[in-house]
Amino acid sequence: MAEVQLGQLAEQRSQSNDVKQFAQKMVSDHGQMNDKWFKPVAQQMGISEPKEPSKKDKKEMEKLQSLSGQDFDREYISMMVKDHEKDLKEFKDEAQAAQNPNVKQIADKGSQVIEQHLQLIQQIAKAHNVDVGGEMSSTR
């Protein structure tokens, strides 16, 4: 949910075509992942979806809403690298640990998509000279 909302904000606020294209991809890919993968399995398992983003995600959104231009782009790129590094680790861990085959399959598919996103945003960070420090390799 947060990736979609942050992507929508970046589509409006970014001044860079590559950042806007990445943001559009986030809206599209994460929206599809939510609708096609997460919601159906959550319903099967009797888990309700969150009604709103987490407090952390709200803080990130507020921080981005206060920025514009290159400052916005740098902060959005940095957030997306960090979020995708964290998400990739969590998805890979879940793919290994999950007992439910549906959850395992979704975690595996999700980690593949997130890994592609991470590689893309790392390239964008490099192109914009955004130091995201401590980038995790995809082999961890």
List pLDDT tens digits, range 72-82: 999 999 999 99
Q: Is residue 137 part of a domain?
A: no
DSSP calls for 103-116: HHHHHHHHHHHHHH
Q: CATH number, domain at 100?
A: 1.20.1260.10
46 in the Ramachandran plot: left (φ > 0), alpha (ψ -120 to 50) or beta? left
**What pTM does this model have?**
0.87
What letter does residue 35 receive in the DSSP assignment? I
What is d(CA 67, CA 29) in angstroms, rounded to the nearest whole number?
25
**125/77 Cα distance (integer angstroms):** 6
Range of the domain at 104: 2-42+55-127
User: Which of 32 and 50 is assigned the larger pLDDT?
Assistant: 32
* Structural domain contains residue 77: yes
Each residue's pLDDT tens digit, 97-118: 999 898 899 999 999 999 999 9
